[in-house]
Every structure is written in structure tokens, then in C-alpha cells.
Chain A
């Protein structure tokens, strides 16, 4: 399963400036593992010490906020678009 991951500006130092990168995995957790293998260090920015999504990170799989589905266990269909976005916006 492959997905396309949109990277926020503050994580692009890990992706050589790329705003969108490919990753493999059938769940969000696997996609983040895949990102970490290709872009070392990025996982620790998205996940906290307990391995959970940081509370100020929003992740969307095909426009759906993963907090409304299964979090890190959310299924990532083949060809899906995954977006990682800082949560501290708006209001």
C-alpha cells in the first residue's frame, strides 16, 4: 500500500524541503514508520514519548481527521492522501 503524505513547513527540514513525500503502510502507524525510515527523526516530531500522536498535531487520511476514526490504527487505503498539520491554528 502506498500513500502520499503532505508535510507541514516545520517538518520539511526532515524531507529536504519537500512538501509531499511517498510512504508505505496500511495503517497510519505503518505510514509514520515508513516516513521515519526515509526521513530519520520525523517520527519523534509527530509522536510523543509514549508513541501517541502529539496533542497539537492533526492528521487527516483522505480528508478525515484520524481522531474521529481509529487514531494511529486508522486504515490508509492504497493511493490515499495523508496530511500532517499543526493544530494550533484558528479561533
Chain B
């Protein structure tokens, strides 16, 4: 992470807010080569991923905390730490973030956790998944670069987030999804009125198609949020780290359980936690990061358990379609982070995912999509296998709304009874 010591948040020539705020450059995570802030995503030298390097604000942490706390109740309260202009909140955007951090005492009791458990419930975002956070940052970059079509490859949640953000901003959207997604996600992606294209293939096929499209003249003027805008997009996930710390009273939890699809979210949450420490906004203390995958798409978990530092791609087969990325771009970095922090990467099968969705709903009144079933299911497995200390404080992420993946629970969830409208019938059904 490039945290430097000067801050420049205005354009020295015009006096207008600098379009990328404290961001200084793009930097290759593999070889460190730096590039100007532009819509590029892979290193010319080694193909490594580019990420945003900052000149973050320095000085009094108390003053920065006060500035953040006085900001809007969405991710823009953290604008001083993001690649966005200082006046970003005045522009048309769907303003995600500041979702609930739910103290989950009932679930903790059920799982035997004594150190405290919170659910960061990102189903409360405008399109009901964490993807609104990353899209908000990518949209701002697209505007700055003069890109006129907002696009993405998506397992569903992202397509909806892009469609909504583009509609609010008055941009065209054209998004690509595997043709066989859950009906709820397809409708929620299509309703915003942009173009939605089903691709006959897996998510990895969609992703490959988009990577080729961006290199074709057809793709000129397009901002693929998770391809050519990916360095900016990824930064949105840092806001999950900032919010968790602020909502805990400006401190870090001991453990975080985070889902893995491409691995981008997990790596950026780690980046955000490190920034909070570097800036003095929280006490420097150890934390452990645990990654969660579905057994039917667990290339990172398999590599972790085998002791490998590379991830062998797989062909996904799981109900957790929002995590069904068989060739995860940030997989190697997830392995690094889990090992560096003393965490782990674990996986659960489809039955365990459904059971965990129901467990979270039954204990805390939170209806998670399948990705939330994966994190809660993995949390349970980590405790049962002794990999996670139940006496430590844990935050588990729910990244999307269960209404999007009704198919997963519908076969085993329904009315307790269907009766005539009489008291006798109620008694006969054994419900009195």
C-alpha cells in the first residue's frame, strides 16, 4: 500500500476539486510500476492488477475522525480516503453505504461465540447488495474520463447496481450476465431500463467476452466497472472496512469473515483496515481475515488447504451464483492475506448454505442471499473446526438480500399449514 505524506485535493490550476481526490497514481500490485490515473487495469510490464495509490491526508486523526463523522450517512463520508473529488456527494449517484452493523447476540449464542458477533448487513444498499459501493466509485471515474456507457460482467448483483447508477447519472448502461441466473437477479438487473445481455456460458465466459470487447473498437467510450475501471471500482469495498471500524467506535474487530468471488472485496477490506491503522484512526492491533467460498466453487479454499500460493481455476457448480467465479482474479492475494493475518479460507456445501440462510433469518431477522449463507455457514464451520476463536470479537458479512435468491430456499421454506379460517382448523393443525 502506498500511503504517502502529502495531501492534494484540489487542482492547482483551476482550484476545482481534484477529480480523484487523494489518489496519486495507479500502481501494479505485482511489480510496483506506476501509471497515471487513467482507465487501464493491467500492468504493461507483467499483466499484474493495477490499484490506486494515494497521498492520504495526514495530521490530527481526531480532526479527520470529526470530519468523517460530520459527513453524509453514506460512503461519501469517507471521500477523503477515496479516489473521488471532494464534492462527489453533490453529483447524481445512488449514494450507497452506512448500512447496519447488527449486533447478533442470538446467532452468537447459537454458534457458541462469547467474544461478540456482528453482521455487517449490506443488503440495505440501494440495489440490495454491496455492489452499489464499488459501482459508485467506478461511476465517478467514468464521468471523469468522459466514458458514456457503463458496463460490466456480472453474476447478477453488479448488473443491477450498474443499471441503477447509470440511470441516476443519465448514462447508457449495457451489462452482461450468464444466461441462467436466478430470476430475481435478472429482473432486478433489467428493471432499470439499460441493456441486459445474457451470455450462453458461465460467468468466466462472460468475463472473457467483456475483456475482449473492451479491446475492440466497439468498446470505445465504454466504462466496464470491473475491467477497465476495476482499480477504482475495487476501492469502494474499502468503505466496508471504514464503516465496520467506525460503527464499532473506531476500533477493529478480531476476526472478519468475508465472501470470496474474485477476491477483490476481501483484499480491499484488508487495504482499508491497513489505511485506518496507518492514519491513526484506529488502534494498531492484529486482526484475522477469513475467506468464505461455496464448495462447488472453491478454488481459493482448495489452494489454501493445499498450501499453494497459486489458484487453479475450476468450473463452478453451486447455488451461490454470486460467488461462482471459477477463475478468481485476486485469488493469490486472498491467500496472502489469510496467511499473513492468521485467518483461513473455508468452504461449505449447498445444503449448509441453505441451512445458514435459515439460521441467520431465524436468529437475527436478516434474510441473506446465498453469499450470506456462505459466510454464516463458513463461520459455523470455522468455530466447529477450531479455526476461529469463539472468545474473540467477530464480524461476518452479508453482502446481499435474500429476496434475490428465493430459488435457493423456496423448495424447503413455506407455510407451516394451510387451513380453513376457523379456530377449530387452527387447533386441528396443532398450532394452538
Q: Which residues on A are within 8 Å of B, measured CB to CB?
A: 6, 8-10, 19, 45, 54-58, 60, 65, 67-68, 83, 85-91
Q: Which of B40, B44, B207, B212 contacts A83 (CB 8 A)?
A: B212
Q: How near does chain A come to B105, taking the closest CB pair, in angstroms?
A: 33
Collect the chain A residues with CB atoms within 8 Å of residue B50's CB: 88
* B216: chain A residues within 8 A (beta carbon): 19
Interface check B262, CB cutoff 8 A: yes
Q: Across the interface, which residues of A come within 8 angstroms of B212, CB to CB?
A: 6, 83, 85
Q: Does B246 contact A (CB under 8 A)?
A: no
Which chain B residues border A85 with CB–CB below 8 Å?
A: 208, 211-212
Contact between A67 and B312, CB atoms less than 8 A apart = yes
Query: Does B332 have its Cβ within 8 Å of any Cβ on chain A?
Result: yes
Which residues in A have their C-beta under 8 angstroms from that of B48? 56, 88
Task: Kindly list chain B residues whose C-beta atoms are within 8 Å of the C-beta of A9.
Answer: 214-215
Residue contact A68 to B208, C-beta cutoff 8 Å:
no
- Please count how many residues in chain B sit with their CB below 8 Å of the partner chain's CB atoms: 42
Find A45's partner among B30, B47, B211, B328 (CB 8 Å cutoff): B47
Q: Does B313 contact A (CB under 8 A)?
A: yes
Residue from the list B208, B263, B265 in contact with A58, Cβ < 8 A? B208
From A6, A83, A89, contact of B329 by CB (8 A) = A89
* A residues less than 8 Å from B310 (CB atoms): 55
Q: Are B332 and A89 in contact (CB under 8 A)?
A: no
Nearest B residue to A53 via CB reads B47
In the complex the two chains form, is B215's CB within 8 Å of A19's CB? yes
B72 to chain A, nearest CB (A): 27
The answer on a CB contact under 8 Å between B227 and A90 is: yes
> Inside 8 A of A68's CB, which chain B residues have their CB?
313, 315
Cβ 8 A contact of B226, one of A6, A10, A67, A89: A89
Interchain CB contact (< 8 A) of A89 among B30, B44, B227: B227
**Chain B residues, Cβ within 8 Å of A87:** 47, 327, 329
Find out whether the CB atom of B30 lies under 8 angstroms from the CB atom of A90.
no
Assembled-state Cα–Cα distance A91/B259 (Å): 11
25 A-B residue pairs with Cβ-Cβ distance under 8 Å, sorted by A, are A8-B211, A10-B40, A45-B47, A56-B30, A56-B329, A65-B327, A67-B313, A68-B313, A68-B315, A85-B208, A85-B211, A86-B42, A86-B211, A87-B47, A87-B327, A88-B47, A89-B211, A89-B224, A89-B227, A90-B153, A90-B262, A91-B261, A91-B265, A91-B325, A91-B330
* Cβ–Cβ contact B41 & A89, under 8 A: yes
In the complex, A57 Cα to B41 Cα: how many Å? 13
Residue on B nearest A56 in the bound complex, by CB: B47
Which one of A8, A56, A67 contacts B49 once the chains associate, using CB atoms below 8 Å? Answer: A56
Q: Which residues in window 224-250 of B have CB below 8 A to A?
A: 224, 226-227, 230
A10 near B327 with CB under 8 A, answer no
Whether A88 touches B42, Cβ cut-off 8 Å, given contacts A45-B47, A56-B48, is: yes
7 smallest beta-carbon distances between A and B, as pairs: A91-B262, A86-B42, A88-B49, A90-B207, A56-B47, A91-B264, A9-B215
